[in-house]
Amino acid sequence: MDASSIFEEGLGKEAANYTPLSPVTFLRRAAWVYPDKTAIVHGSRRISYREFYARVRRFAAQLRTRGIGAGDTVSVLAPNVPCLLEAHYAVPMVGAVLNAINSRLDAETVGFILGHGESKLLIADAEWAAVVAGATDITPVPVIRADDPDFGATADFGEIEYEDWLAQGDPEFAWDPPRDEWQAIALNYTSGTTGNPKGVVYHHRGAYLNALGNSLHFGLNQNTVYLWTLPMFHCNGWTYTWGVTAVCGTHVCLRRVDPALIFPLIRDERVTHMCGAPIVLTMLIHAPDETKCGFPQTVEAATGGAAPPSAVIQSMEEMGFRVTHLYGLTETYGPATLCAWQTEWDDLDHRTRSEKMARQGVHYATLDEMAVVDPETGKSVPADGETIGELAVRGNTVMKGYLKNRPATDKVFLDGFFRTGDLAVLHPDGYAEVKDRSKDIIISGGENISSLEIEDTLYRHPAVMEAAVVARPDETWGETPCAYVTLKNGAEADATDIIAWCRDHMAHFKAPKTVVFGPLPKTSTGKIQKFILREQAKALQDS
C-alpha cells in the first residue's frame, strides 16, 4: 500500500497526457469537426460552428483587452439569445467567471448580485434598460448593450453595442485553458425565498462532467437540435449550454417562452430535445389549438424543478413528446438524478407508469452517490418507500460552495454529502421520491402529509390546470392542507367539488380543508412560489 510504487516513478503528469477538464474545449473541437454546420439558430439568423468559435474568440479578446482575467466576474443579463450562449465560452476562455443573471429579477436584486459577485462587466440585452439603470445605480459596473433584431427596439445605455464590440475583437485570439480544472467557471445566484440570494460557484471540472453526463443520459448526438425553452441563466441551462456543443448539436435560441413561437420552431427546425419546468409543459398543453402545429418527430422533453403530474405526462405524449424526469438544484449544476427507464414499465398502465416517472430516481453516472439520510444522524433511511429522510448527493458535480458564505456552505456540506433540503423516501427499487421541501411538509394532527401527493391528486381533477398546496395554521390540528387552484379555461368547479374529489382519491385526512381559486405566483423559472402562498394561508387564518 505504498504510494511510491513502480506505477508512480517517471509516470507523472505532463502536457501530453494531462489537461485540465474544461467544457470550453468542446467548442474548439466542434469548430474543427463541423465548421460549416449550424451551431446556433436565432430567428432567421444562422451561426455556423466556425463563426460561433470565431465570435467567442473575438469576445474573449475584448475581455482580455479590458484587463479581465482569472477570478474576475462577468455578468450577463439577457434572455436565451446568442450573446448569452457565447458568454459561456468567452468568459471562461480568459479564466473569468460567468455570472448569468436571472432575467426576471428586479433592479435591486440585480444590483445586489453585481455587488456581491464583484462584477467587472455587465452585458445586457436592450430590453433590460430599466433594470440595468436601477442596478447600476446601486452597483456601478461598465455595461455593454446587446441589441436583438427579434426584440426590435434598441436603447441608449451602455458603452457600446455587443456586435460592434465583437467586431473589434481578434477572431484568432489565442486563449488559455484553465491552469486548474477546479478553477471557477460560473457563479449562479439562487432565487432565495428569504433574504439575499446565495452565489453558487461552479468549476470547469464539474461543468465538463455534467455536460457529458447530461449528453449521455438524454441521448444527445451530432443530430441533436436543442430548443432553448430552459433559461440559460438557470444553472447555465443545466449545463446543456456546453453539452449540446460537446456532441456538436444545434442550439435553437428562444427569446421568450411562448407556445406560438415554440411549436413552429419544433416543426421548422426539426427540434429533437428540449428542457423546462413542468409549467413550460403545462403551457404547451394548454396553448390554443391553432398554435399547436403538428410535427413528425418525437421530441425528447426533460423536465425538472418539480415532478411532472401524470396528466401532464399523458398530454405531452399525445402531442408527440417523450418526457424524462430529472431532478437537481442550482447547487448540483442542474440535473443530478434522473428517473431512469426500466423496461418493465413499458407494459404498465398509464397511471402506474406516471407514478413511477414522477419519482426523482437515481443519480447520474457522472455523480458519485445519492442517499436519503436521516437529517439528524446522516445515516441512510431504509429503502421502504415510507421513511422520510433528506435527499443527499456527493460527487464532482456538486458546487465548490457558496461565494463568500462559508457558514451557508457548512450548513449543506454534512457528513461528506451535500444536503438538498428536499425531503424524500427511498423506494425498494432504489429510486428516490421527493415528498416535499423541508418546509413544504404539512403536519396535521401529528401525521406528515406530503403537499406533493395532494397536488398530484388535484392535477388529476378534470377541471384543474394548476395546483399548489401549503400548510394553513390550525388551532385544532396544528396545520391543515390549503389548496390553491387554477382552473382550465372554461372549466368549472367549486371548493366542495375539489375537496370531495380529494377525499375520493386519497386518505380523508390528507384532503385539503381550504380551497382558494386564482392564478398562482411563480418564479422566473416557472416554479410556484409556495412561500407567498404560505403567507397567504396564514393570513386566511388571521382573517
Nearer to a second copy, 215 or 310 (CB): 215
Mask of contacts with a second copy, 421-450, x by CB under 8 A?
---------x--------------------
C-alpha cell belonging to residue 506: 386519497
Q: How far is the CB of 7 from a second copy (least distance, A)?
A: 4
- 3-state SS, 532-543, equals HHHHHHHHHHHC
Site for a second copy in 244-303 (CB under 8 A): 246-248
Site for a second copy in 50-69 (CB under 8 A): 69
340 sits near a second copy (criterion: CB under 8 A): yes
480 sits near a second copy (criterion: CB under 8 A): no
99 sits near a second copy (criterion: CB under 8 A): no
Nearer to a second copy, 430 or 445 (CB): 430
Nearer to a second copy, 64 or 145 (CB): 64
How many whole angstroms separate alpha carbon 154 and alpha carbon 159?
Answer: 14
How many whole angstroms separate alpha carbon 184 and alpha carbon 204?
Answer: 6
3 sits near a second copy (criterion: CB under 8 A): yes
Nearer to a second copy, 255 or 363 (CB): 363
Q: Which residue has the cell 413561437?
A: 261
3-class DSSP state for residue 454?
helix
2 sits near a second copy (criterion: CB under 8 A): yes
> Among 79, 82, 95, 305, which residue sits at the site for a second copy (rule: CB under 8 A)?
95
Cross-strand bridge partners of residue 392: 371, 419
DSSP 267-280: HHTT--EEEE-HHH
Site for a second copy in 384-413 (CB under 8 A): 394-396, 398-401, 403-404, 406, 409, 413
Cross-strand bridge partners of residue 98: 74, 186
Site for a second copy in 235-254 (CB under 8 A): 246-248
119 sits near a second copy (criterion: CB under 8 A): no
How many whole angstroms separate alpha carbon 324 and alpha carbon 315?
Answer: 14
Q: Buried (b) or exposed (e) across 117-155, using 16+ Cβ within 10 A?
A: bbbbbbbbbbbbbebbeebbebbebebbbbbbebbeeeb
Q: How far is the CB of 29 from a second copy (least distance, A)?
A: 6
Answer yes or no: are the C-beta atoms of 299 and 272 closer than 8 Å.
yes
C-alpha cell belonging to residue 456: 398530484
Nearer to a second copy, 248 or 425 (CB): 248
Query: By CB under 8 A, how many residues form the interface with a second copy?
Result: 75
> Among 70, 160, 319, 463, which residue sits at the site for a second copy (rule: CB under 8 A)?
70
How many whole angstroms separate alpha carbon 486 and alpha carbon 492?
Answer: 10
Answer yes or no: are the C-beta atoms of 247 and 37 closer than 8 Å.
no
Site for a second copy in 187-246 (CB under 8 A): 187, 201, 206, 212, 215-216, 219, 221-222, 246
174 sits near a second copy (criterion: CB under 8 A): no
Site for a second copy in 9-38 (CB under 8 A): 9-19, 21, 25-26, 28-29, 32-35
Sign of the dihedral defined by the CA atoms of residues 380, 334, 49, 168, in that order? negative
